[in-house]
Amino acid sequence: MEYSLHARLTLKRDVQALPVKQAAQQAALGWTEQRRATLGQDIVPSQINAALLLDGVYSVELLSPALMALDDWQLAICTDIAITIAGAADE
């Protein structure tokens, strides 16, 4: 099953955006590769949110994917990862 991972991050104020965005992209890539490693791995949005809630991130808005329950024989393949920075917020 193919899916895209698109997330919008709001950062904590006074945090440099580029390093946090790069770390979030790496976290997203690691999460998707882990799902691809084994058949039947469900795509659970709350797990993606947890993976992206890194140091310096105030909140995560996951735009896609939605919950995807896979059968034991299905493989989750992420075809696109897009992480954007929405802005900053005070804690």
Question: Mind listing the pLDDT tens digit of every residue in the chain (91 residues)?
Answer: 999 999 999 999 999 999 999 999 999 999 999 999 999 999 999 999 999 999 999 999 999 999 999 999 999 999 999 999 999 998 7
- Per-residue confidence (pLDDT) for residue 18, from 0 to 100: 96
The Cα 25–Cα 7 span in angstroms is 10
Reading the block at residue 38, the tokens are 């084994």
CB 49 within 8 A of CB 10: no
- Per-residue confidence (pLDDT) for residue 91, from 0 to 100: 77
- Phi and psi at 40, nearest 5°, equal 80, 15
- Per-residue confidence (pLDDT) for residue 80, from 0 to 100: 97
